[in-house]
Structure 1
C-alpha cells in the first residue's frame, strides 16, 4: 500500500521556514526579515544541533511521500526541488561534524556576533529590551562552543593550528581596554538611549568581554597545543567522504575533485594568456606574476583615505546602476550601499561581503568592504569586486529573488552557492561587456579575480585531497593572483575551514557561460541577452541542474513560438 502525503509542499515549506528562524533567529537579520523576535541567539549546544537534524529527517520523510510528477509546471515544483536538495545535502555533510571543530576566522561564532550587533534592531523600547536580553546570554553561547570543541577533541576533530592562531588574533582585537572601543558598543551609539547605553556597556564589561576572553584563553592554553598540524580534511575521520559531500553541497554537482583540479589548471593557462595581453600593453611583460606585482606596486593604484575607497566604489556602483536596463528587463527595487568593515574584521584580512536589504525596505543591502590601511590598499580589484557583490552581481540576484512573489518565500533562503556565486562571478565578466571598468588596470582586476576563483579550483582539492601544506597554497595564490599576502592568508584559511565552497564560483560561472552560448546557438537572431538573464534569475538560487532544465524548457518554448 502506498503512503499518501499528509502535507503539501507549501505546508512543509511553511513549517521549515518557521522552524528555521526559530532555531536560527540571527539569520532573520541576514535575510532582512523583520517579524522574528531578536531576544536570543541560536542555541549552540550540540544536542540542539541533533534536534535540528531530527527535524530535517522528518521533512525529508514527508517529502518522499509527495509525487513530484504531479508538481511539474506548478509553482510548488521549484520549492519541492530546492527543499529536498537542501535537506539531502545537509544530511550528507553531517559526517563532517563541523560543529566539533568550528574555529573559523570567516564564519565563526565570534564573527557572527559582530555581524549581528551591526544589524540588531534598536529603534523602539521593545527592540532595545530584546537586545539586552539577547546579549546577556553570550556567556552561555561561549560555554556551548567550548563544550563542542572539547567533545571534538575526544572524537579526533580539531581545527588546524594556523587557523586557531588567526582566530586568537581576532579575539584579541574584539576585547579592547576601553568599553567604548568594543565592536559591540556601536549598538549604544545607534540606539540614542542613555539608559540602553549604560546597560549595554555593563553587559559588554561583565558578560561579553569576559566570555570572549574565556574562549580566547581556552584556545591559547588548552586547544592550540592539541590542534592538528595537517590542514586538509584528510586528517579528520571520514575526511574523503566529507569533502565529496561538501563539494556537492556547495556546487550542487556530483563532480570528482580531480576533475575540478584539472579544470582549474587548464583554465588558469587560458587566463594567463589574456592577462598577458594587458601586461604587454601596460608593463611590457607577459609573465602573470610580474604583471600583477607591477600593477599592485604602481603608486597611482593606491588610495589615500578610507573616504577615497568608498567614493571610488560608489562611483562604480552608479555606473552599473545606470546601464542595467540595457542588459536586464527586470530590475530590483531594493537599494544597496557600500560600507566599511569593523576594524577587527578589516585588520585580519576580510575581503568583502554582501548582506541583503530588509524585507520592509527600510534598510538597504550592504556591501562590506575592507577599507583598512588605504595607502596600502590597491585599487586593482576594487571595481570587479564591487560588481560581484552588488550590481549586476549578488544584489541583483538576491533582491529579485526576495521581491518575486510567485514562489514560496523559503526559496530565497535555500541558498545554492553554485548558482549564487557562479552568477556573481559571471557578473564580473558581464561588467566588462557593459563597459563598466575604468581602465586596463581595473580589467586586470577582473582577470585577477577570475584567476583567484580559478586558483581555488586547484588549491581547494589540493588542500583536502592531495595533501598540500598551507604554504604551498599561499605560494600558488601569490603566483596567480594580485591579492596582498594578508588577504591571501585569510583566503587560504577560508578554504581550510569551508571545504568545497570556494570551488562553487568558477563551476557555477562555467555552467552559466555554457548555457548562454548554447542559447545563442539555438535562438540565433532571436536571442536577447535581457531575456536570457531574466530566465537565469527568475527562479532564484536554484541548483545548477535545475538551472539547466529551466533554460532548456525556455528554449523549447521559444523555438515553438
Structure 2
C-alpha cells in the first residue's frame, strides 16, 4: 500500500513536489495460510484480522513502519527485518496472490454484523482489491524514480526526519542506510527492464533526476544527513556521551561510504540508459499507456469518474470561475490594483497558523491539542521541493507534526497564508490529527488516498482566502483565479496523458488563456509528462469535495451546515469518494 508521508502545496511552475512513496504490497502469505481471521466473522475477529494484515504490511518496509508507528511494540511487533522493501521485477504475481487471499478472507465476514466503521474498512479494502488485481499488468508502467515525487527525491527528507525514540531506532536507521545501494540496484534492474520494453523515461526526466542526485551528493563531508543525525543523537537522553559519539562515527561512515555512493551510482546508471526511452510525451504514447493512465487517475484521485468525465467537470468549474472573475472585475474596476496593494497583519508562519486556528472554529470541529514545528528546507533540497510540505505523524503519536517552508520559493502575503492553511490548519496537519484521534482501525492508515489528502488541503485552502484579513472582493478574486489556474493544469494533465497532446497542443491550449511564455509552458509540459496524474489529485480531489458538499446540502437542506459536514468527514477518515458519499448519512447525524 504505502504511506502518504508528505502533504504538500504545489505551485504552477516547474519544481519538484514531494508526495508519496509506493513501495508495493509485500508478502503476508504466511499469515493468511495460518488462518489469520475470517473464520468466525465477529467484530473482534475482524479487528484481529485487520491487525494481522496491518502488522504484516507495515513491517514490509522499515521506513514505512517507522513513519506509521512510533512504538511498534505496542502493536505486537517485536522482531522484523530492517528493509526498504522489495522492488524486484517479478514481484507482481506475488501481489496478485496476496490480494486474492485478502478478498477470500474478507468474504468470510458478514458485513452487516460489523460496526459502521468496520464496514467502511471492509469496503475500502474491497475497493482497493478490485482495482489493484487487474492493475497488476501495469507493474512496469509505474515509475519509482520520478524527478518530483520519486523515492530518491523523498528519501533524504524522510531520513533527516527519522525520529529516534530509543536506541533500537538508531540501529535500524543505520542498517537501513546501508541497504540503500542494494535497493537502488534493484530499482535499476526494473529500469533496465523498462528500457528493454520501450517503457523507460524521457531524456529530460533522466536529466532532472541526475541533476537532483548530483546536487545531493555534492560536498559529501558536509552532507546534511550528517548534521541532522548528530543533532538527533545529541538530543537522545537514552544515550551516554560515549555511545553518541560512536553512533555519529558510524553514521558518517555509512552516509559517505554507502548512501552517497548509492546516489552517485544511481546517477551513472540512469545516464547510461539515457536515449532508450521511446516516448517523450504522455502515457498514451506507450504500449498500454492509455489504459494504465485511466487506472492511475482513479487510483490517484480516489474518484470513480472516467478521464472524460473528469475533464468535463474541470472545464465546467473553470468556466464558472472565469465568469465569476469577470463579474468581480466589472463590479470593482480597480480590483487589479487592490489585489496588488493589500497588506496582511503578519507574515510569520506561527502567527498565521494561530490566526487560521481561530478563524476556522465556526466551520470546523476543534482538533486535539497538538504541537508542531516550522522548519526550513535544507539548501541542497530547495530546488527539488515544494514551497511547503507537511510530514505526517505516526498513528500512535500525533504530537510529531512538522511543516517545512522552502524559503527559495518566496511565498509572501496571501500566498503564504493559504499555503499554511493547505499544510496546517485546516489542511494536512488538521486532517491527520483529527483522523488519528477517531479510533479508526490501524490498517486504515495504509489505505490513504492522495486525492482525498490533497483534495482536502486544496478545498480548505480555497476557503482560507476568506479567513485572511483582506477585502471580500480581493479574497474572492484571488481564490477564483487560483482555482481557474489549477484547472488549467488539470486539463493539461488529462490532455497530455489521455488524449496525446503534444507540446504544440499544450502551448495552444494555454495561449487560449493568455499564457504565452513558451519556455514556461515547455517546463510545465515536461513536469506533467514526468508526473502523470499529479495535478489531478489536487484539483479533481478538490472538485470531489465540492461534489460531496453539494450532495450533503441537497440531502440535508435547512439541517445542513459546513461544521456538521466537516465533522462527518473527519470522523469517516480517508476513503475513496464513492465510499465517503455512501457512509456520509451514517456520520452526519451523529
**TM-score by structure 2 length?**
0.79
Deviates more, 1:180-189 or 1:145-154: 180-189
Deviates more, 1:134-143 or 1:519-528: 519-528
Q: Which residue of 1 aligns with 2:203?
A: 161
- Decide whether aligned partners of structure 1 residues 147 and 20 sit closer, same or farther in structure 2, where only a CA change above 3 A counts: same
Q: Which residue of 2 aligns with 1:398?
A: 432
Q: Which residue of 2 aligns with 1:436?
A: 468
Distance 1:488 1:338 in 2: 33
Distance 2:520 2:305 in 1: 28
Q: Any stretches of 5+ residues in structure 2 without a counterpart? A: 1-36, 235-243
- Structure 1 residue 490: deviation in Å? 7.4
- Decide whether aligned partners of structure 1 residues 195 and 478 sit closer, same or farther in structure 2, where only a CA change above 3 A counts: farther
2:224/2:378 contact within 8 Å kept: no
Alignment pair present for 1:504 and 2:537: yes
Q: Report matched runs for 1:375-524 at 5 Å.
A: 377=411, 379=413, 381-405=415-439, 407-433=440-466, 435-436=467-468, 438=470, 446-470=479-503, 473=506, 495-524=528-557
Deviates more, 1:470-479 or 1:39-48: 470-479
Q: Which residue of 2 aligns with 1:533?
A: 566
Q: Which residue of 1 aligns with 2:298?
A: 248
Instruction: Classify the secondary structure of the residue corresponding to 1:40.
Output: coil
Instruction: Classify the secondary structure of the residue corresponding to 2:136.
Output: helix
Instruction: Classify the secondary structure of the residue corresponding to 2:500.
Output: coil
2:220/2:260 contact within 8 Å kept: no
Q: Which residue of 2 aligns with 1:231?
A: 281
Any idea what the Cα deviations from partners look like across 1:427-467, whole Å, max 9, x if unmatched? 1233245x235467666554444234312331111111121
Q: Which residue of 2 aligns with 1:305?
A: none
Alignment pair present for 1:15 and 2:52: yes
**Selected match of 1:110 from 146, 152, 161:** 152
Q: Which residue of 1 aligns with 2:369?
A: 333
Any idea what the Cα deviations from partners look like across 1:183-242, whole Å, max 9, x if unmatched? 45522332223222222112122211111111101112x211212342211122211211
- Decide whether aligned partners of structure 1 residues 345 and 242 sit closer, same or farther in structure 2, where only a CA change above 3 A counts: same
**Selected match of 1:135 from 165, 177, 187:** 177
1:349/1:487 contact within 8 Å kept: no
Distance 1:414 1:31 in 2: 12
Distance 2:94 2:550 in 1: 46
- Decide whether aligned partners of structure 1 residues 121 and 18 sit closer, same or farther in structure 2, where only a CA change above 3 A counts: same
Any idea what the Cα deviations from partners look like across 1:38-94, whole Å, max 9, x if unmatched? 9432233334555344322321232234343444x5442011011111233333433
Distance 1:214 1:112 in 2: 18
2:423/2:457 contact within 8 Å kept: yes
Alignment pair present for 1:190 and 2:222: no
**Selected match of 2:98 from 33, 42, 55:** 55
2:201/2:280 contact within 8 Å kept: no
Deviates more, 1:172-181 or 1:343-352: 343-352
1:164/1:219 contact within 8 Å kept: yes
Any idea what the Cα deviations from partners look like across 1:133-180, whole Å, max 9, x if unmatched? 111121111111111111111222111222221111111111012421
Alignment pair present for 1:85 and 2:135: no
Distance 1:44 1:481 in 2: 44
**Selected match of 1:76 from 93, 104, 118:** 118
Alignment pair present for 1:125 and 2:159: no
Any idea what the Cα deviations from partners look like across 1:317-342, whole Å, max 9, x if unmatched? 11111233322334233333432223
- Decide whether aligned partners of structure 1 residues 335 and 523 sit closer, same or farther in structure 2, where only a CA change above 3 A counts: same
Instruction: Classify the secondary structure of the residue corresponding to 1:506.
Output: helix
2:395/2:442 contact within 8 Å kept: no
- Decide whether aligned partners of structure 1 residues 336 and 442 sit closer, same or farther in structure 2, where only a CA change above 3 A counts: farther
Distance 2:406 2:438 in 1: 31
Distance 1:330 1:378 in 2: 27
Aligned length: 533
- Structure 1 residue 271: deviation in Å? 1.7
Deviates more, 1:377-386 or 1:55-64: 377-386
- Decide whether aligned partners of structure 1 residues 31 and 487 sit closer, same or farther in structure 2, where only a CA change above 3 A counts: farther
- Decide whether aligned partners of structure 1 residues 38 and 431 sit closer, same or farther in structure 2, where only a CA change above 3 A counts: farther
Instruction: Classify the secondary structure of the residue corresponding to 2:368.
Output: coil
**Selected match of 1:218 from 265, 269, 272:** 269
Q: Any stretches of 5+ residues in structure 1 without a counterpart? A: 286-290, 303-307
1:100/1:152 contact within 8 Å kept: no
Instruction: Classify the secondary structure of the residue corresponding to 1:338.
Output: strand
2:198/2:276 contact within 8 Å kept: no
- Structure 1 residue 113: deviation in Å? 1.7
Q: Which residue of 1 aligns with 2:322?
A: 272
- Decide whether aligned partners of structure 1 residues 341 and 200 sit closer, same or farther in structure 2, where only a CA change above 3 A counts: same
Distance 1:478 1:338 in 2: 39
